[in-house]
Amino acid sequence: MWGVWLSVPDLVSFATPSARPRAVVFGCAGLEVTADEAAFFRDADPLGFILFRRNCDSRDQMRRLVDDLRASVGRADAPVLIDQEGGRVARMRPPHWPAHPPMGVFGRLAERDPAAGREAAWINGRLLAHMLAEVGITVDCAPVCDVPVEGAHDIIGDRAFSRDPALVIALARATADGLLAGGVLPVIKHIPGHGRAFADSHAELPVVEADRAALEATDFAPFRALADLPLAMVAHVVLKAIDPAAPASTSSIVVREVVRGPSIGFGGLLFSDDLSMNALRGDPRTRAEAVLAAGMDVVLHCNGDLAEMRALLGAVPVLSGAAADRWARAEAMRHPPEPADIAALTNRLAELLGPAQA
């Protein structure tokens, strides 16, 4: 079994402010932790880390990297995140790891055979978890719960399961259950919805013009149905009908009225989307201050730029008491992987998806 699981004494001590890590998840620059990075992480004590393609070369290399990141903060249970959705968004790729299909493939299967679609999505989540757990990763930034609309920017595209919120709900739930069965925590994204965006928030700030009723019926529906899950990532998208002045990630109005409020009712831990994205304005410190002021529990800074990390550090406090409680509840949902015949599951997934990928 890989990983260290929090015991009751751990949860109690973690509630003490002096024991809390800082409310940030950092990236690193390359395939190994440099001496400068290790020293910075030791002093900064981030909650955890996030890996990208630049950090993934082989199983042995990734295991060493993950171990060294955790060693730098002196916490064997520090979360290590990755965006491993399948399709275009896959940091771990062949030849060292199997390719997984984009989530839209499961939606097409479910349109023809809902039960087969749910089964395939669960197996896919379980296989993703196996791949991640092998190298010590404990959190997958998936599933995508956005509901695309006609003409929207293809930054979401086939990363979404479907344009039908009911199918998104069913398949995202199955994927999350598969990840949890494999000992990996899912992160639902991009709450409260990125599917209507006509721009890529990596490059610019999208503004969604839809009225409140349309958002409630479509965009918010999957997140509302999955609000019991422990972790979510908040979009850098302006919902003009709710707060025309700020993206959701920096809008206390959206967080209070929609994400935490009756529209969705999410009670888990909120990550911001990456602070490095061009949808946000200002320097790294200003961006960190803005997302935390809006109600994010943890900020994500992903590009591995050490100078930027140093610049924003002073804006990031230790986890608040409420955030620490939310993180503890999330960790309590993570269990050692359930036994699974990985070869049999791989064969079954190929059997189910054959027609969907034809």
pLDDT digit string (tens) for 130-153? 999 999 999 999 999 999 988 777
- Interhelix angle for 103-112 vs 342-353, to 10°? 60
The number of C-alpha atoms within 13 Å of 344 and in the hemisphere containing its C-beta is 3
What's residue 15's pLDDT?
Answer: 53
Q: Nearest 5°: phi and psi at 238?
A: -80, 125
Residue 151 gets the label, from left (phi > 0), alpha (psi -120 to 50) or beta, of: left
Number of domains in the chain: 1
Is residue 358 one of the residues assigned to a domain?
A: no
Is residue 148 one of the residues assigned to a domain?
A: yes
What's residue 238's pLDDT?
Answer: 94
Is residue 3 one of the residues assigned to a domain?
A: no
Q: With contact defined as beta carbons under 8 Å apart, do 270 and 235 qualify?
A: no
Query: CATH number for the domain including 332?
Result: 3.20.20.300
Is residue 155 one of the residues assigned to a domain?
A: yes
CB-count burial class (<10 Å; 0-12, 13-18, 19+) for 115:
exposed
The number of C-alpha atoms within 13 Å of 119 and in the hemisphere containing its C-beta is 13
Structure confidence at residue 19 as a pLDDT band (50, 70, 90): confident
What's residue 3's pLDDT?
Answer: 33
Is residue 1 one of the residues assigned to a domain?
A: no
Which tops the pLDDT comparison, 76 or 281? 76
Active site (catalytic) residues:
202, 273
Q: Which amino acid is at 340?
A: A
* CA gap 48, 22 in Å, rounded: 9
Output DSSP code: residue 295.
Answer: T
Q: With contact defined as beta carbons under 8 Å apart, do 51 and 65 qualify?
A: yes
Is residue 154 one of the residues assigned to a domain?
A: yes
For residue 163, the enclosing domain spans 8-352
Q: Mean of the pLDDT values across residues 112-124?
A: 98
